[in-house]
Amino acid sequence: MARRVKRNRFDFLIKKFPKRMQKKLVMLFMAIILAFVVLVGRITYINASKGSRYTKIVLDQQAYDSRKIPFKRGDIADRNGTKMATSERVYNLILDIYVMLSDEVYKEPTIEVLKDCFGIKESDVREAISEHPDSRYEILKTNVTYDIKKKFDEIEADTKKYPNVKGIWLEEDYKRTYPYGTLASDVIGFTVDGNVGAIGIESAYNNVLNGTDGREYGYFSDDSSLERTVKAAKNGNTVVSTIDVTLQSIVEQNILEFNEEHRGEYRADEPGSKNTAVIIMDPNSGEILAEASYPNFNLNKPRDLSSIYTEKEWKKMSEDEKLDAMNTLWRNFCVSDAFEPGSTMKPFTVAAGLETGKLTGHENYFCGGYKHVGDYDIACHLTSGHGNVSVQDSIAYSCNVGLMDMAEAIGVEDFVRYQHIFGFGEYTGIDLPGEAATEALLYTTENMYEAELATCSFGQGFNVTMTQMASAFCSLINGGYYYEPHIVKQIKDSDGKVIETKDPVVLRKTISRETADQLKPYLKATMDYGTGMNAAVPGYDIGAKTGTAEKLPRGNGNHVLSYIGYAPLDNPEVLIFVVIDEPNVQDQASSWYVLDLSRRIMSQAFPYLDVTMIDGYVSSETMPVPKQPETQEIKPESEEYTNFSANYEDPYNNYDGAYIDENYNPDLDDWATGYTTE
């Protein structure tokens, strides 16, 4: 009988798995390793990309307190660093009602401090307690000053005298303030709803000025210890404008004086004009050094129109009427309003003729007081006629007939083409919101006939904005370079480091330097013996053109007066453009008013800007001041407007001059997005 072999009960541990099973085990092991790698990768990705989000979710699921750390909106400064808009630190008064009610002894002392220190009515506190007894965050007051905070800090620190004051704390915040009040109001703009820019730079550069709120989270962990996570706030960037505060003040002071002098003069209880506006510009860069319009408003109280309307008048107005009144006041006349340029257009007509070769500058014309064009007798402003005039005289005397003869030689096609070359009917690209759309306000080659060509030659029959005219005129005097107008010079971060610079941008070449040089004697003649004589400032060689245009509807006697000038004549350093819309005087067509205002501004602005004076000029102690003419007097040399034809029908009918394109967004490069280029 064979012997029975005893089996080891642990043989299965050393038994080899079949190859098929081995392969399955290897694959399972690799799958586990791969899953682990994917899980680690996913956790790493979530932590890197969405860590803060999930941190907040975790915190939300635990007992915690949380407070916002507000960012500081960036300042708006003038070109020299003077703050025109800034954010001051203030505090929000917060009451933790739950803590205050956690012990009965806390309630009355806390209410007493709220009343005595912060001026909160006791009834308001008790109402909040009744309505929200479990509230941990009840805002009782905003814009608490630092002085009040300091007083409360002393109370909080005095635990002997105030041992039972609980649940009060102050949350940091910022309040937007404007140190200069009304200065450059429609250029700077203001904010609404905390940090949302409404108009001006505040609106155009809203994303640049804004930062990102931070937050501090506090929560109790599993072992009941207080843990805190802080995400710091990122403050907004500072916008450095091209505006000069001192120059802006000079301009606005003179505008105010003009309007006060003529307040109620012809129209009772009205200021000296419907609008008065001024642009001072660097013709060699497109920088706007000053931009002002009247009436203006206090940026710290933008909805306070008490300077314009009486309390009785304001109460009578409907909500829509009040809104319209505010929007009208806030509208930037220099950017958003369009008007007929009048005779300030004449140098552009001459430039187009010289540039196309249709004029040589040696032509002579005869003005008998009117020119018959088509079916119309189109009058010159001097109805008795200027007689024989040269091209230069036509500019100096502002002779309509001479300009109509020039336009006839230029022809419709070239005239329309050069209107667009000079930027009329086009967006200027200025970095301010609300630029007027004027494309539809110009004739085309299809609908401009001989009568329209004639009237457009001297600035009637189409509309421009002040920004368009100033930018185009700069190209006439600087050698033909059309610079993009801009109001912002630099962007700085919260530490003061320059992160973006707005360099001058030449958009196009309008005319040759030869043509520009040929125009300068014509513009000087305007000041020497023409319609601009009363704006002369001793010691400065100035070139200029005046303009007068009757507003729609014709025949109502409402006019827009304008003056555009520059100095020095041969090498321009500064340009000034002054517009008075409906001066409150009996004879609105008299250019004396705009000439006098322009002279006042230039006599102060030119020395401040250190504009080059005439070689060898020695200033005298007294500066001759032109006398204001009597109300009834109309001087022959003044540029009186005369309607060229009572039967002519205008192709546009927007009486108030507002042509804002609500859909227009200025090209701010990459600033508005908050990203900067290298």
**What are the tens digits of pLDDT across the range 418-443?**
999 999 999 999 999 999 999 999 99
Instruction: Output the pLDDT for position 617.
Output: 85
Whether residue 654 is predicted with pLDDT greater than 60 in this model: the reply is no
CB 519 within 8 A of CB 350: yes
Which range has the worst mean pLDDT, 75-79, 292-296, 650-654, 661-665? 650-654
Instruction: Output the pLDDT for position 627.
Output: 46
Band of residue 497 on the pLDDT scale cut at 50, 70, 90: very high
Q: Is 85 helix (H, G, I), strand (E, B) or coil?
A: strand
| Per-residue pLDDT tens over the stretch 219-235 | 655 555 556 788 889 99
Instruction: Output the pLDDT for position 69.
Output: 85
Whether residue 633 is predicted with pLDDT greater than 60 in this model: the reply is no
Extended strands (E) in 126-184: 138-144, 168-177
- Whether the full predicted model's pTM is greater than 0.85, yes or no, is no
Whether residue 134 is predicted with pLDDT greater than 60 in this model: the reply is yes
Residue 515 token pair: 């043509």
Instruction: Output the pLDDT for position 420.
Output: 97
Q: State the Cα–Cα distance between residues 95 and 109, nearest whole angstrom.
A: 13
Considering only residues 14 and 674, tell me which one the structure prediction assigns the higher pLDDT: 14
Whether residue 647 is predicted with pLDDT greater than 50 in this model: the reply is no
Name the DSSP class of 40.
H
Mean pLDDT of the chain: 86
Q: State the Cα–Cα distance between residues 639 and 166, nearest whole angstrom.
A: 76
Instruction: Output the pLDDT for position 57.
Output: 55
Instruction: Output the pLDDT for position 668.
Output: 41
Q: Cα 399 to chain center, whole Å?
A: 37
Whether residue 276 is predicted with pLDDT greater than 70 in this model: the reply is yes
Residue 310 token pair: 């009486």
| Per-residue pLDDT tens over the stretch 99-108 | 888 888 888 8
Q: What is the mean pLDDT of residues 394-400?
A: 97
Considering only residues 512 and 634, tell me which one the structure prediction assigns the higher pLDDT: 512
Q: What is the mean pLDDT of residues 26-51?
A: 78
Whether residue 488 is predicted with pLDDT greater than 80 in this model: the reply is yes
Which range has the worst mean pLDDT, 225-239, 360-374, 506-520? 225-239
Q: State the Cα–Cα distance between residues 189 and 196, nearest whole angstrom.
A: 11
**Cα–Cα distances in Å, from 506 out to 431, 443, 484, 665?**
15, 26, 6, 20
Which range has the worst mean pLDDT, 102-106, 596-600, 606-610, 623-627? 623-627
Band of residue 13 on the pLDDT scale cut at 50, 70, 90: low
Whether residue 537 is predicted with pLDDT greater than 60 in this model: the reply is yes
Considering only residues 601 and 552, tell me which one the structure prediction assigns the higher pLDDT: 601
Band of residue 555 on the pLDDT scale cut at 50, 70, 90: confident
Q: State the Cα–Cα distance between residues 255 and 536, nearest whole angstrom.
A: 18
Instruction: Output the pLDDT for position 6.
Output: 58
| Per-residue pLDDT tens over the stretch 158-211 | 888 888 888 888 888 899 999 999 999 999 999 998 799 999 999 999 999 999
Q: What is the mean pLDDT of residues 14-26?
A: 68
Considering only residues 128 and 630, tell me which one the structure prediction assigns the higher pLDDT: 128
| Per-residue pLDDT tens over the stretch 461-485 | 999 999 999 999 999 999 999 999 9
Which range has the worst mean pLDDT, 24-33, 52-61, 355-364, 602-611? 52-61
Q: State the Cα–Cα distance between residues 291 and 485, nearest whole angstrom.
A: 12
| Per-residue pLDDT tens over the stretch 144-156 | 888 898 888 888 8
First to last CA, the chain: 99
Whether residue 641 is predicted with pLDDT greater than 90 in this model: the reply is no
Share of the chain above pLDDT 70, in %: 84
Whether residue 669 is predicted with pLDDT greater than 70 in this model: the reply is no
Whether residue 25 is predicted with pLDDT greater than 90 in this model: the reply is no
Instruction: Output the pLDDT for position 203.
Output: 96
Instruction: Output the pLDDT for position 55.
Output: 58
Considering only residues 49 and 156, tell me which one the structure prediction assigns the higher pLDDT: 156
Residue with tokens 């060699």: 284
Q: What is the mean pLDDT of residues 3-23?
A: 61
Instruction: Output the pLDDT for position 677.
Output: 29
Instruction: Output the pLDDT for position 65.
Output: 60
Extended strands (E) in 44-186: 64-69, 76-77, 83-95, 138-144, 168-177
Q: What is the DSSP string of 338-387?
A: EE--GGGGHHHHHHHHHHHTS--S--EEEESSEEEETTEEEEPSSTT--E
